Amino acid sequence: MNKINILVKLAWRNIWRNKRRTAITLASIAFGLCALLFQQSIIKSLQNQIIEKSTRTYTGHLQVFSKETTDLKVPEARIENPSPIYAAVQTLPDVDLWGPKLIFTGLISSPFTSKGVLVVGIDPLKEKELTTIHSYIVEGGYIEPAEERSILIGVKLAKEMDVKLGEKIVVMVQGSDGSLSAELFRLKGLFQTGSPVYDGQIVYVPLSSAQRLLVCGEEISVISMHLKNVEAIESAQEKLAKLLEREPVQVVTWRESSHEIVSIQKFQDAILLIVLVIIFGIVALGIFNTLLMSFFERIREFGLMLALGSKPIHVATLILLEAVFLGILGMVLGNILGSLLILYFGKNGIPLPIGDVVGYWMPFDKVIYLKFAWKELIFSSLAAVLTSILSAIFPAMRAARLQVAQALRHY
Amino acid sequence: MEQFKFGKCKISLSNVRKVYESKGENVEALRGLSLEINPGEFLAIAGPSGSGKSTLLNLLGGLDKPTSGKIFFGEKDLGSLTNAQLCVLRLFTIGFIFQSYNLLPILTAVENVEYVMLLQEMDPVMRRQKALEMLGEVGLSSMAHRRPLELSGGQQQRVAVARAIVSHPLVVLADEPTANLDSHTATALLDLMAHLNATKNITFVFSSHDPLVLSRAKRIIRLHDGQIE
Ligand SMILES: Nc1ncnc2c1ncn2[C@@H]1O[C@H](COP(=O)(O)OP(=O)(O)OP(=O)(O)O)[C@@H](O)[C@H]1O
Ligand SMILES: [Mg+2]
């Protein structure tokens, strides 16, 4: 115990012997780590923002589809009897908000032209809570509960169709009985999300009108849910699946329905790991060089320690402890620098062109507000300390193998 | 921890040879040396540069192993000890004073003296007290908390002397302890060593080629080309 104490004391004093060298080493660890934390925060904040947007504009956290549905974007099969599912969803305490949708492809016509679109039948009240689509309305208003004939379309689509607020729009579709059916709507509101897919290809109508149009009774395509706690998504999925055991339905998470987001995420995570390895590879070379230099400078001193009766393991431990101190100090500094950056850009936001790319598929902000990526932060911080320790292994082993008499001849 | 208790015993070398191999060439630094050192001796090893003084002291101190021949501390053959055992032997039975850079530069004078006792796992309060006492004996009480760089060469050597004798070793080995000192400081250091030798009955073996220093020794072994003259 005593010996560890003195080694800790020696190690601490040793790293301050060459202040400039220590400062440079610490800076290299700190800047490396800071850059990494910053980058991880950007990617993770972006991912969270994408998930948030995706679950808040369309999918929700959990969705219930018919068992036969394979295309989770445009469900081809319908849930024939949704009442027991509504009941089950309402009994589940994990569920915060929920709403049904009927989704199908159809044709909309204005006096001038027609276009193929995705028609989404919504329960106006429930959808207003569940998703944010109402917040993107730039002209007119949202569908009120009693309005059977209101339709919402995107600004882009409206321009293409050359229709204005209050004008007539006919939605045509092949009903479930094979007949062609059509309904007349009036343009109630125009939304602008910035996503060409939303603004140009999706229209919203009341669920009841959609059901009448399809001649499908109470049938719906999907029930989406927003959970109180996203972390518990798997357990909520399990519980709901259990409740609905006897119904011909499937319960999926947003991960399953938005697999392209998940695969982007995996790709980004892989890149983060590669960057981490590269940064710490460079940092490791720097630390290794420092430790090796300081080892060669102190061979005589190590010889003296050994002559006085220190064990080789003490000398090796001393070098490792020095590396631990460098690693921890660099880690703390890096965290401070990184946190300052993240806090600053968490408040002020970073404009990122990547928003445009994602924004093609769904509404997306052009500014990212950074948040701490705690898991990655802890992982990288440990990696910084570990890198430092690993760099010390070779010098430590050399120190442990020193020949006393020869080491004493070094001046 | 395995201790080596030798009490006051004789140190003997019989037919010790040391051959260094460097770049394929063999250098015979000691050529069959036999020698007995009695407890309490104040012994000087003299000889020109390259005669093998340091080699001899290294072997005596268990810092290196002889190529052939035997070194005994009492009945114990050093050749039978492992490196780890030699380490313990150095810790408990031998005090070292080198020519220069004797002290760990990041420890204060008193911490340097304490270092050996710390490795011996002595109680912290006691070792601090003993270290301060020892520094008093070598006349450095007021400098106990200075770092080596803040001490003169002679003061540094005194600290080394204090460290070497603080745990009452069987023998103190000093390889040219005065080589970096002026003659006045050198004489004072020798006086100190002689005093400690007399009062504490600790064996001192030191090397030098300075006649003034050698004149203080009670016995002188003269080396020439790895042999006793
Ligand atoms: N590690 C070594 N490798 C090779 N040769 C060595 C080594 N150590 C010492 N020698 C050689 O052994 C011989 C004796 O060296 P040693 O250092 O014991 O002499 P010395 O009497 O202490 O000399 P000095 O007064 O210069 O210190 C010399 O010829 C030296 O070159
Ligand atoms: Mg020598």
Q: Which of A350, A354, A329, A352 is nearest to A341 (CA)?
A: A350
Minimum Cα–Cα distance from B102: chain A residue = A304
In the prediction, which pLDDT does A363 show?
A: 63
Could you tell me the distance, in angstroms and rounded to a whole number, from the CA of residue B183 to the centre of ligand 1?
Answer: 25
pLDDT at B205 over 80: yes
Neighbours of B121 (CB within 10 A): 11
Distance from CA of B165 to the nearest CA of A (A): 12
CA dihedral B97, B100, B104, B109 (to 10 degrees): 70
Q: How would you classify the pairing of strands B42-46 and B219-224?
A: parallel
Residues within 6 Å of ligand 1 by CB: A 406; B 20, 22, 27, 29, 47, 49-55
Average pLDDT, chain B: 92
A357 has a pLDDT exceeding 90: no
Work out the percent of chain A whose per-residue pLDDT is above 70.
96
Count CB-CB contacts under 10 A for residue A79.
Answer: 26
- Whether the predicted pLDDT of B1 surpasses 60: no
Residue nearest to atom 25 of ligand 1 (CA): B49
Closest CA to A10 of B114, B96, B85: B114
Asked if A60 contacts A224 with a C-beta cutoff of 8 angstroms, the reply is yes
- Report whether CATH 3.40.50.300 matches the domain B37-66+81-228: yes
Is A384's pLDDT higher than 90?
Answer: yes
Residue numbers in B near A401 (CB within 8 A): none
Query: CA neighbours within 13 Å on the CB side: how many for A206?
Result: 19
Residue B24: partners with Cβ closer than 8 Å, 6 or more residues away: none
Which atom of ligand 1 sits closest to the CA of residue B99?
27
Q: Which residue type, as a one-letter code, is found at position A23?
A: A
DSSP state of A79: B
What are the tens digits of pLDDT across the range A214-260? 888 999 999 999 998 888 888 999 999 999 999 999 999 988 888 77
Entry pTM: 0.82
pLDDT digit string, tens, across residues A271-313: 888 998 999 899 899 899 999 999 999 999 999 999 999 999 9
Instruction: Indicate the domain borders of chain A.
Output: 2-55+261-408, 61-254
Q: Which ligand is nearest to the CA of A407?
A: 1
pLDDT reported for residue B8: 76
pLDDT at A259: 79
Q: How far apart are CA A232 and CA A113, in angstroms?
A: 47
* Banded model confidence at residue A47, pLDDT cuts 50, 70, 90: confident
Rounded to whole angstroms, how far apart are CA atoms B14 and B30?
A: 12
Neighbours of B122 (CB within 10 A): 18
Residue B144 in contact with residue B109, Cβ under 8 Å?
Answer: yes
The average confidence (pLDDT) of chain A is 90
Task: Please determine, for residue A352, whether its predicted confidence score (pLDDT) is greater than 80.
Answer: no
* Cβ within 8 Å, pair A405-B98: no
Task: Say how many CB pairs under 8 Å bridge A and B.
Answer: 60
Say how far apart CA B178 and CA B97 lie, in whole Å.
10
The verdict on A313 touching B (C-beta cutoff 8 Å) is: no
Are B110 and B131 in contact, with CB atoms under 8 Å apart?
yes
Looking at chain A, how many residues does it have? 411
pLDDT at residue A191 tops 60: yes
Contacts of B113 (CB under 8 A, 6+ apart): B131, B134, B135, B159, B162, B163, B166
Q: Where are the domains of chain B?
A: 37-66+81-228
Which atom of ligand 1 has the smallest separation from the CA of B48?
25
Query: What is the pLDDT, as a whole number, of residue B215?
Result: 92
User: A305, B64: Cβ pair inside 8 Å?
Assistant: no
3-class secondary-structure state, position B94: strand
Q: Give per-residue pLDDT as tens, B5-27.
A: 677 789 999 999 999 988 889 99
Q: How far apart are the CA of B101 and the centre of ligand 2, in A?
A: 14
Asked if the Cβ–Cβ distance from A309 to B118 is below 8 Å, we say: no
Strand locations in chain B (E): 11-22, 25-37, 42-46, 68-73, 76-77, 94-97, 171-175, 203-208, 219-224, 227-228
The sign one gets for the Cα dihedral A52, A57, A58, A63 is: positive
- Distance separating alpha carbons of residues A133 and A124, to the nearest angstrom: 11
Residue A353 binned pLDDT confidence (cut-offs 50, 70, 90): low
Q: Tell me, what's the pLDDT at B6?
A: 72
The secondary structure of residue B80, as a DSSP letter, is G
Which of A75-84, A168-177, B116-125, B186-195 is predicted least confidently? A168-177
Q: Which residues of B touch A311 (CB under 8 A)?
A: 84, 87
Q: Is the per-residue pLDDT at B104 higher than 60?
A: yes
Per-residue pLDDT, A124: 94
What residues of A are in contact with residue B163 (Cβ under 8 Å)? 308
CA distance A310 to B53: 24
Q: Does A401 touch chain B (CB under 8 A)?
A: no
Residue A362's pLDDT band (boundaries 50, 70, 90)?
Answer: low
Mean pLDDT of the region A58-76: 88
Write out chain B residues lying below 8 Å of A312, CB-based.
87
From chain B, the residues in CB contact with A302 under 8 A are none
Among A12, A2, A1, which Cα is nearest to A318's? A12
For residue A99, the number of C-alpha atoms closer than 13 Å in the C-beta half-sphere is 26
B65/chain A closest Cα distance in angstroms: 10
Instruction: Output helix, strand, coil percentages for chain B, rounded to the nearest 5.
Output: 40, 25, 35
Residue B42 has pLDDT above 80, yes or no: yes
pLDDT value of residue A180? 87
Mean pLDDT within A133-145: 92
Q: State both tokens at B50.
A: 């390259």
Q: In whole angstroms, what is the distance from residue A11 CA to residue A4 CA? A: 10
Q: Identify the residue whose C-alpha is closest to ligand 1 atom 30.
A: B50
CA distance A194 to A156: 9
CB distance A309–B84 less than 8 Å?
A: no
Number of neighbouring beta carbons within 10 Å of residue A350:
18
